[in-house]
Amino acid sequence: MVEQPSWKSEGLGTKKRVALWLVQEVGAGSVFTKEQLRAAFEGVSQVDRRMRELRDHGWQIDTNREDPALDPSEHRFVSQGVPVWEPGMASRKPAESVGAAQRRAVLVKDNYLCRTCGIGNGEAYGDDHGATSQLDIARRKVLLPEGDIEVQLVTECNRCRTGGRGECDLGAFGSALEQLSPYERKMLFSWMERDARAFNEVEKLWGVYRTMPAAARATAREMSLAHT
Ligand SMILES: [Zn+2]
């Protein structure tokens, strides 16, 4: 465990100091203004830009675009990303802008679907506004099973992108998996392989059962009870 340096440490780069300032002075969940940021880093150039760059490392810092409750001069430090002040951490990130080839690769792997809502590219959202989707690449903070944090790319539509998705916790996913029965795990794995949820046998039988006449339903219930 690396000890967290002070945000005032002169030896650190501006981006690292801004990250530490957010953690130590603002605090996750709190609002800060551009003026407060500039005042803390008086005389340091491009502080705003360094602050925005933290998003490339999985930091969630909202403006009034993502959070309409904010004033145009305000930001909300929602959650911390990669601890960029730790040795080697600042360089662990996807390229600043996602290149065309990388973008295409992510879209192909994600089956050209928004991984949050499942919409395809150019499809109608089906609401009154008649808006259609536009797929883009977003960065998602992933907590690896061993506890490390990594920023990975994911396909999201323009609407879900502004929703500010939380992080993805593979450790918690693993713990929840362990709670499933072997049958449930097998079912889940088959959905993963198809990248779609299929009706399982239980749901199929339920579909058959609910259309039965009352007397047949009673018999079906007795048959099920006999098997429990
Ligand atoms: Zn979406």
Q: How far is the CA of 165 from the centre of ligand 1 (A)?
A: 11
Residue 93 lies in a domain: no
Q: Which residues pair with 106 in a beta bridge?
A: none
Q: What is the predicted pLDDT for the residue at 9?
A: 87
Q: How far is the CA of 116 from the centre of ligand 1 (A)?
A: 5
Residues 160 and 204 in one domain: no
Q: How far is the CA of 107 from the centre of ligand 1 (A)?
A: 13
Residue 57 lies in a domain: yes
- SS in 3 state form for 61-95? EECCCCCCCCCCCEEEEEECCCCCCCCCCCCCCCC
Residues 75 and 24 in one domain: yes
Residue 54 lies in a domain: yes
Q: What is the predicted pLDDT for the residue at 19?
A: 94
Residues 161 and 106 in one domain: yes
Q: How far is the CA of 73 from the centre of ligand 1 (A)?
A: 28
Q: How far is the CA of 160 from the centre of ligand 1 (A)?
A: 4
Q: How far is the CA of 125 from the centre of ligand 1 (A)?
A: 9
Residue 88 lies in a domain: no
Q: What is the predicted pLDDT for the residue at 175?
A: 94
Residues 161 and 189 in one domain: no
Residue 35 lies in a domain: yes
Q: How far is the CA of 113 from the centre of ligand 1 (A)?
A: 8
Q: Determine the Cα–Cα distance for residues 58 and 28; give it in Å rounded to an integer.
A: 14
Residues 108 and 68 in one domain: no
Amino acid, single-letter form, for residue 88: G
Q: How far is the CA of 201 from the centre of ligand 1 (A)?
A: 29
User: How far is it between the farthest Cα atoms of the chain?
Assistant: 82
Angstrom distances, CA of residue 200 to CA of 173, 184, 223: 21, 10, 19
Residues 148 and 127 in one domain: yes
Q: What is the predicted pLDDT for the residue at 60?
A: 85
Q: How far is the CA of 124 from the centre of ligand 1 (A)?
A: 11
Q: How far is the CA of 167 from the centre of ligand 1 (A)?
A: 16
Residue 85 lies in a domain: no
Domain that holds residue 139: 100-169
Those residues whose C-beta lies under 8 Å from the C-beta of residue 10, and which sit 6 or more positions away, are none
Residue 38 lies in a domain: yes
Q: How far is the CA of 68 from the centre of ligand 1 (A)?
A: 19
- Could you tell me which of 56, 45, 51, 64 has the C-alpha nearest to residue 23? 51
Q: What is the predicted pLDDT for the residue at 97?
A: 66
Residue 126 lies in a domain: yes
Q: What is the pLDDT along the chain (228 residues), one digit of tens a residue?
A: 557 899 998 888 899 999 999 999 999 889 999 999 999 999 888 899 899 888 888 788 988 877 888 888 899 998 888 888 887 777 655 445 678 888 899 999 999 999 988 899 888 888 767 788 899 888 888 998 888 888 889 999 988 887 666 788 999 999 999 999 998 899 899 889 988 887 778 888 999 999 999 999 999 999 999 877
Q: What is the predicted pLDDT for the residue at 55?
A: 85
- The total of structural domains in the chain comes to 3
Q: What is the predicted pLDDT for the residue at 81?
A: 81
Domain-ending residue, one of 169, 189, 212:
169
